[in-house]
Chain A
Amino acid sequence: MDAAKIRQDFPALQKSKAIYFDNACTTLKPKQVIEAQRIYYEELAGCAGRSSHSIAKKTTERFEESRRKVAKFIGCLENEVVWTKNATEALNLAVRSFDYSKRRKIVTTRLEHHSLLLPIMEMRRKEGLEIGFLPLGADGALDEEKAADAIDSKTALVAIHCATNTTGLRCPVEKIAKIAHERGAAVLVDGAQAVPHFKIDFRKMGADFLAFSGHKMLGPTGIGCLIGKADALENLETFLVGGETVEQVDIERAVFLPPPKKFEAGIQNYAGAIGMAAACEYLAKIGMENVERHEQRLAERLLEAIASVPGSTLYGAKTHKGRCALASFNIKSIKPHQVALMCDSLSGIALRSGVFCAQPAMSLLGAPQGAVRASLYIYNTEEEIGIFGETLEKISKIA
């Protein structure tokens, strides 16, 4: 995989000399994705599945083709792909629409992003559900041996991350899914930080639901997916309802369409879906195994660069193996916002600072006031990490 060649596909990198290390927030977009969206707006621009004119037919064709491409990329059937506006909506859909009539407990971890944690907490507040937490080590790694104890016969849903947005570490989803299924619980996986970085096969993963966003994997903003096993989707209650979700309506009752249409109310983000499919194609062409290898190399260099800075504190496990090229850290007593702003000012390095929409996770990791996060992707290079390390070293001297 040639990062220098890949960089040529990204107009944002051609127009600016910035070092973009904020990919866990959102990634840059390649010209192939931008072009795919342009085609929708300039050549299609109709609505899918409603009108019968030729423009609408073409739009429907491209929209459903996009669904197939995403399904192929993630290893599921096309009717198992539900379009949402992002991973947050997908997680809300799964958590809020799940059937808790027989089991009243959701098991999760304290490392989750607010997008998963808050819907679960809302279900506790509104429905009186119980929340259980999988045991974690001090470095945030899941204690696999004790995990089984937390999932019991009352557990309806195990909702976990595949990779965290705070440390980039992966969770052994397959093992957890196996345990959960043995105990009769369903599994929802937040794949927002994993699908862009690792080869994910939905079937092999063994989860019932998988949520992810387009914009974190080179796609457009405003589009995401909830992947669900056909029967699991069938058992979900309706979420947003409206046009295109129903087969028949009279004033007394509505007969809803089968999934995924049942969950796709109103005009969809066609351009977003087409753009997201283009992003999947782009990544598939590179090969997710290559993406993973590239990130492993970057992760190793990234951790070395941070570790070599005097007074730096890295949060989470110190290993580069099995993690995204992502690291959260602090430098001495310097405020994380100040470090991020100074990196931008001194070397044009774009970083994220704060608690990364995962406040309980950051408290657990020992950074309740927040940290600085560097998250890299396919177009980042070791040279950029070198500049990053030098800049951090300069900053460390002011404390």
Chain B
Amino acid sequence: MLCFVALFVFGALSVFSAKYRPLAARAFDCAARKITLRPCQTGLDDEIRAASIAGIMRISPPAAAFANRHFEALSVIFTLIFFASMIVALQGIANFAVYGNCNGPEGGFCIYSGLQNPAFLKTPKTSEGIVAGNLSSGITVVEFGCYICPYTKEAEEGVQRLLENYASRVAFVYKPFPLAAHKNSFEAAIAASCAGEEGKYWEYRKMLFANQSWFAQEGERAFKQAARKLNLTGFDRCYDERLVENKINATLQEGKECGIYGTPTFFVNGKAFVGQRAAEEAEAEIRRLLAEGRA
């Protein structure tokens, strides 16, 4: 069974190096024979088996004995896992190329994002966005977030705790960075800013994160319904005429210039933290700075 894995691996390597082509040819012959229920004649299956068992034997002879006795069954399991993993990985790469996230339009944790290093992010220069806390503090926390992003939502509890515990000692700036991968994310950013125009930003934000998937699904109807609950009289006009669109575009552009590749992204005095645990990491950094007497 491992001939199929070998065919895939050596076939891929053959594209880049001719020395793998004879191996790929042997693997192809072996795989073709396996499909037609004939024994492999190139000896590649024996070589793979011997190399595998010898490798295991160096670590654990009993494990080698077990692997040898159940080699065919283990090979089938390994082959199935290998190809299932390949399908998921290729799907993830395709999603990453199209949506910027390996989970597709739904978003979520994406391992490929780890390929991008927070150390290379540029520090935002402006204070454009929603501002809170002590603006004269020596510590500034900037969050780039998307109201429809599940990870921004997960980080929200940390953000609220941060505002509660450090409001007098830290300046906080939220910069909307709606991700195109999330449905109605730009509209959500406009809606929140419109609420902010009437002094109800934080209340509206709380509603957005509390019912994130509903807002994502329903869009305008949901945004306006939420506004009515907060008695926002100018909301519909602000939303319909997109009066705050320039502000959203400005923070979006700033985020792109900073190299933001995922939300939420936090900057604590220029030091960046990205992903699910970014709020906790940002808080730890705040504590460290406060201990140094930077506030």
- By a beta-carbon cutoff of 8 Å, the part of chain A in contact with chain B is 334-335, 337-338, 340-342, 345-346, 394, 397-399
Contact = CB atoms under 8 A, between A and B. Distances in A.
A346 B43 contact: no
Given A346-B54, A398-B53, A399-B68, A341 B47 contact: yes
Interface stretch (B56-64, B200-208, B258-266): B56-64
A346 B51 CA distance: 9
B90 interface: no
Contacts of A398: 53, 57, 61, 64-65, 67-69
Contacts of A337: 43, 46-47, 50
A335 B51 CA distance: 13
Given A394-B61, A397-B61, A398-B57, A345 B50 contact: yes
Nearest to A336: B46
A334 B55 CA distance: 17
A378 B65 CA distance: 35
B288 to A, nearest CB: 51
A340 to B, nearest CB: 8
Contacts of B47: 337, 341
B21 interface: no
- Which of B49, B55, B67 has the most C-beta atoms of chain A within 10 angstroms of its own C-beta? B49
A342 B53 contact: yes
A341 B65 contact: no
B57 A346 contact: yes
Interchain residue pairs A-B with the least CB separation, the first 7: A341-B50, A345-B54, A398-B68, A337-B46, A398-B65, A338-B50, A342-B54
B49 A394 contact: no
Interface in B207-251: none
Given A337-B43, A398-B57, A345 B68 contact: no
16 contacts: A335-B46, A337-B46, A337-B47, A337-B50, A338-B53, A340-B50, A341-B50, A341-B51, A345-B50, A345-B55, A346-B54, A394-B57, A397-B64, A398-B61, A398-B65, A399-B68
Given A335-B46, A338-B46, A341-B51, A346 B58 contact: yes
Contacts of A335: 46
B189 to A, nearest CB: 60
Nearest to B58: A346
Contacts of A397: 61, 64-65
A338 B50 CA distance: 5
Given A338-B46, A345-B55, A398-B68, 17 more contacts: A335-B46, A337-B43, A337-B50, A338-B49, A340-B50, A341-B46, A341-B50, A342-B50, A346-B57, A346-B58, A394-B57, A397-B65, A398-B53, A398-B61, A398-B64, A399-B65, A399-B68
A390 to B, nearest CB: 12
Interface in B10-44: 43
Contacts of B68: 334, 398-399
Nearest to B56: A398
A337 B64 CA distance: 17
Contacts of B43: 337
Contacts of A346: 54, 57-58
Contacts of B58: 346
B144 to A, nearest CB: 53
A345 B65 contact: no
Contacts of B55: 345
Interface string B64-82: 1101110000000000000
B174 to A, nearest CB: 59
Nearest to A354: B43
A334 B69 CA distance: 10
A399 B54 CA distance: 13
Contacts of A394: 57, 61
A341 B57 CA distance: 13
A78 B68 CA distance: 56
A397 B67 CA distance: 12
A368 to B, nearest CB: 14
A64 to B, nearest CB: 43
A346 B56 CA distance: 11
A398 B46 CA distance: 15
A335 to B, nearest CB: 6
Nearest to A335: B46
A280 to B, nearest CB: 36
A399 B47 CA distance: 17
